Structure 1
Amino acid sequence: MKALIQRVTQASVTVDNHTIGQIGPGLLALIGVEKEDGDAQIEKMLHKLLNYRIFSDDNGKMNLGLEASGGELLLVSQFTLVADTAKGLRPGFSQGASPEHGRTIFDRLLDAARQRLPATQSGQFGADMQIALVNDGPVTFMLEV
């Protein structure tokens, strides 16, 4: 599982001109599910999403995780994150999860996140989504588990 995370002052996801998820200060996480992902990857990724220290403490140092900072979380599935781009000019998706497996793993990650942060927002799996965000910093990291 991979996640491209961005510290944001605000972010939203729109489907068919309707905003379906929106957060204030917090974390936008684009999630790519691989075919071998399961419970262990869900647990590790959720731990990283909630605790990766990219938010400023009282001294302006990146020492706080999302939970400690009081920020919000927006999860968006993005299968293109698992693309193999090492060779050629066309991405390969041989490591990507099937749509069924990807949806199951993403939904389980979302459910687990909502148990810890009830206000967690999300995109719509498999939909054509438009993402709007204001990257704070900019601060962007790729997480892999």
Structure 2
Amino acid sequence: MFYKGFNKNLQGYNNYQFSVGETYSTDNNDTWLWFHYTKYVSSTIIYFDKDIRICEVEPVGKTSFFKDSTDGYKKGYYTTNKLKITRELSKSEIFDSLYKEKCRYYLVQKLNPPINILIRYKSKIRGSSYCSKIIQRADLRSEEKKLVIPKCWHKYI
């Protein structure tokens, strides 16, 4: 399974418009300029600030792999000259994928998941960057924040 990230309008790089169910191709010979996709949801999220939409994709043309350390895990990314957008992942599927990939950073820092998802991550939420992000969230009640952050942080709520 492979993934491609989009902005809230299902647009990619340079606002290139995509649609679920469609196949896209390019005649460009430069493999870096082909359609980018990843093997991991967490590798896709790093390229977007918020309102990300992620789709499952299927490379149906030539492919190339680029080893990249941008994601912090050196998972890299792929490109293809022909890409089919298979289906869009729901927010719940994105959260589940990040949980399986043990990637709490992007979940907490970029996606603002609901409290039930944060509770699943409770034992993994440690450190100032995670806790301060949760404390700053206006959509969570004080009691909810206390459910997911360590007790030593409760005094900052």
TM-score of Structure 1 vs Structure 2, range by shorter chain: under 0.3
Q: Which protein, 1 or 2, shows the higher relative CO under an 8 Å CA cutoff with sep ≥ 6? A: 1
Structure with max Cα Rg: 2
* TM-score, L = length of structure 1: 0.23
* TM-score, L = length of structure 2: 0.22
Pick the structure with more strand per residue: 1
